[in-house]
């Protein structure tokens, strides 16, 4: 059996190289037809949605956790600090803890993996590196999307938000679902790519490529922070 060193193979750089030919072919096809090239841009009244950066996904003690999320978590901490300074509303999502029931929302919550910590209440708690502030909203969601079955849309409407900066995990699942629903609600979705993560680099890289063509803009954390200065503090507006 071949042993795979995930520290060197499960990286964005390797995934980019592995997927390069496919993405270049797709991109050339889009260009030839003049499609999927536009950008939505940043809105004037954004909110930040932190999707599922909970211990069960960020801590490798759990079978579903991955150290690939360390850098996105650190970048998100920078984004949140800058956002709070500008009065940008911040929303966190996680999944509810349901001990002793068969009603588990995600496969990982039902898995029994030898050698790893069992899924528990801590798994559903926000990573302490991104501790919510008193004024932040924390939503327990029942589906992949932060909008499905929650009051998130109504909350953003009440704040007159026109756009969302989406960060968190996993890029190929809950991030994609949240961005798609945000666009369906006529919000401007912006994925902060280096604040998002996935256990598999290939899934992360290709999802960012694909979703930028269809439903959202993808920017860096530095671009996102720089955008805050374009509309000034929202705290008093």
Give residue-wise pLDDT tens across range 78-87: 999 999 999 9
**Residue 140 pLDDT > 90:** yes
Counting Cβ atoms within 10 Å, is residue 122 exposed (0-12), middle (13-18) or buried (19+)?
middle
- Cβ neighbors of 143 (< 8 A, separation 6 or more) are 105, 149, 177
- Cβ neighbors of 52 (< 8 A, separation 6 or more) are 93, 94, 95, 168, 169, 170, 174
Per residue in 174-204, pLDDT (tens digit) is 999 999 999 999 999 999 999 999 999 999 9
Strand partners for 96: none
Report d(CA 145, CA 184) in Å as an integer: 12
Report d(CA 174, CA 153) in Å as an integer: 16
Q: Which one of the listed residues 161, 169, 174, 195 is annotated catalytic?
A: 174
The CATH class of 11-26+42-97+117-228 is alpha beta
**Domain extents for the chain?**
11-26+42-97+117-228
Report percent pLDDT > 70 for the chain.
87
**Length in residues, the chain:** 237
**Residue 7 pLDDT > 60:** no
Active site residue 196: no
The pLDDT score that the predictor gives to residue 79 is 98
Report d(CA 211, CA 182) in Å as an integer: 12
Neighbour tally for 40: CB within 10 Å:
14
Per residue in 94-117, pLDDT (tens digit) is 998 877 665 656 555 555 667 888
Q: Assign 185 to helix, strand or coil.
A: coil
């Amino acid at each position: 059996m071949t042993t795979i060193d995930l520290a060197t193979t499960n990286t964005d750089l390797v995934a980019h190289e592995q997927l390069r030919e496919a993405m270049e072919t797709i991109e050339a096809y889009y260009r030839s037809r003049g499609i999927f090239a536009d950008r939505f841009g940043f809105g004037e009244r954004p909110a930040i949605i932190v999707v599922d950066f909970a211990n069960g996904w960020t801590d490798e003690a759990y079978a579903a956790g991955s150290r690939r999320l360390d850098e996105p978590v650190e970048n998100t901490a920078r984004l949140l600090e800058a956002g709070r300074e500008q009065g940008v509303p911040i929303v966190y999502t996680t999944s509810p803890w349901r001990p002793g029931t068969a009603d588990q929302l995600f496969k990982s919550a039902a898995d029994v993996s030898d050698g790893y910590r069992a899924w528990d209440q801590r798994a559903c708690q926000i990573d302490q590196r991104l501790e919510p502030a008193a004024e932040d909203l924390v939503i327990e969601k029942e589906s992949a999307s932060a909008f499905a079955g929650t009051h998130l849309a109504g909350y953003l409407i009440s704040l007159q938000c026109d756009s969302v900066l989406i960060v968190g995990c996993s890029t190929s699942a809950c991030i994609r679902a949240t961005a798609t629903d945000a666009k369906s609600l006529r919000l401007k979705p912006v994925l902060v790519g280096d604040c998002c993560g996935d256990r598999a680099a290939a899934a992360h890289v290709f999802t960012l490529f694909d979703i930028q063509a269809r439903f959202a803009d993808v920017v860096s954390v530095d671009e996102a922070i720089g955008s805050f200065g374009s509309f000034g503090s929202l705290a008093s507006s």
